[in-house]
Structure 1
Amino acid sequence: MKNLIPIIASTACSLMFVTSINSAIATVKTTSAIATSASVKAGKKKSPLPTVGTVKKLVQGDLACYVTLVDDKGKSHNLYGDFSFCGQEKTYLNKKVRLTYKLTNIDSPQCQGRVPCNKSQRVNLVSKMEVIGNKAATSTNLPKTGTVKKITNGDLLCYVSLVDDKGKQHELGADFGICGQEKAYLNKKVNLTYGLANVNDCQSAEPCGKTKQEQVIQKMELAR
């Protein structure tokens, strides 16, 4: 019996040791799973990229052409752009543009300008930049009729998404009063009347004394 006591004690210690290890492994796995879940959730909270805005700065960088753009709500965005945009400042600077993105591999910041560099990062690169509203002095190029698809109250104007009779979509500025009549016009065919209006031309929604003239929708009537 005396010989059995050390054996029993040894076995008990071994079982306690194994149980402790298993408990520690389970804790590590749980912690790892929580961290992974948090990482995934954090990744999903990225702000959507702007599709329309005013170009305020174009800077030639080592990785891309850096585009500073202010969206219609006055928020500033720093974006990666194709290198070709940095040679066209006169075309894009202080102009309202529509952006198209392309998922592209560019050099990693760790390269620090070294060429060649085997490290890269995958980013949404501005691949196309189209100036819009550049013919604001005339309304001849603007649709006179169409179907209203969206009405958005912005900081600078009321914005109307409209599809014309040929199926082409237009993003138009409108008088703020039209945004208060969304139920009357949404998904309805309308006739449009335009007029010149002075619009804030600043880097934010706050007035800065700079304005520009744009053709905006001043009257919207249901088509018969």
Structure 2
Amino acid sequence: MFTGLVETTGRVRSFERLGKQARLSLAIPFATELTMGESVAVNGCCLTVAAMDPEGACFDLLTQTLAVTSLGDLEEGSTVNLERALRAGDRFGGHFVQGHVDATGAVIALEAKGQDHIFDVSLPPEIERLCIDKGSLCVDGISLTIAELSSGRARFWITPHTFTATHLPALKTGARVNLEADLLAKHVAKLMDGFSAARGA
């Protein structure tokens, strides 16, 4: 479980395709604190540490991971958002994030507005139905509040801290981003779908 409060950023050292799978090697500031098998959210996707060295770690990307997320778009030098799993007793901010990416969207706009930034992201229908105005959405591992919700897109206002503490300065228009809808919204939608089916609606 994660919070969507990005701990730091890392850099892709290599991305090796292994058939339908891949191995991702990252330079990580907290590499010496990691343990084998530990979970790390990389751009919002929960990955397991498969190998370590003093400067970074490697992660194995499964076929399903590459199919559902944007991690396959990474290349040497790419910047990624990193967050270690929430520990019991930690102060909790952001919102509950599982690190299970539901779908990808695309960056529509990322523009400076005074000291802040406007960040627009496209939403596929299966994600849009789970979003509400002022609700939470995890975008590439960042817990964000939806400021405006319109057909097929969400707008976020990014504070100076969030902008500088994440990979956002490196994002380009059109880039794919990982989306994880609010956990509560997904449970409610599932229950309501079952209720409607039972009533024959």
> Is the structural similarity TM-score above 0.5?
no
TM-score by length of 2: 0.26
Q: Which has the higher helix share?
A: 1
* RCO higher in structure (CA 8 A, sep ≥6): 2
